[in-house]
Amino acid sequence: MTPSPSAPGGIFAVQCPNPKCKKFMFVEERDRDKVVPCLLCKSPIRVGGNSPAPGGTR
Ligand SMILES: [Zn+2]
């Protein structure tokens, strides 16, 4: 409800989906719903709070 263009401290952690990497990285809030490359293996990491559920119940 409070649109703040520059929210301080808006970062959260994501984990690399690569089972051989599994690196944790911090991305900025503005990068949510985007895909960022892993710093190590360059795998595309989907930034988002909820993990995708294949074959969801809904
Ligand atoms: Zn990785």
Residue-wise pLDDT for 9-50, tens only, equals: 688 889 999 999 999 999 998 888 899 999 999 999 998 765
CA of 37 to the centre of ligand 1 (A): 8
CA of 43 to the centre of ligand 1 (A): 5
Say how many C-beta atoms besides its own lie within 10 A of residue 43's C-beta: 15
CA of 54 to the centre of ligand 1 (A): 21
Distance CA 28, CA 41 (A): 20
CA of 4 to the centre of ligand 1 (A): 31
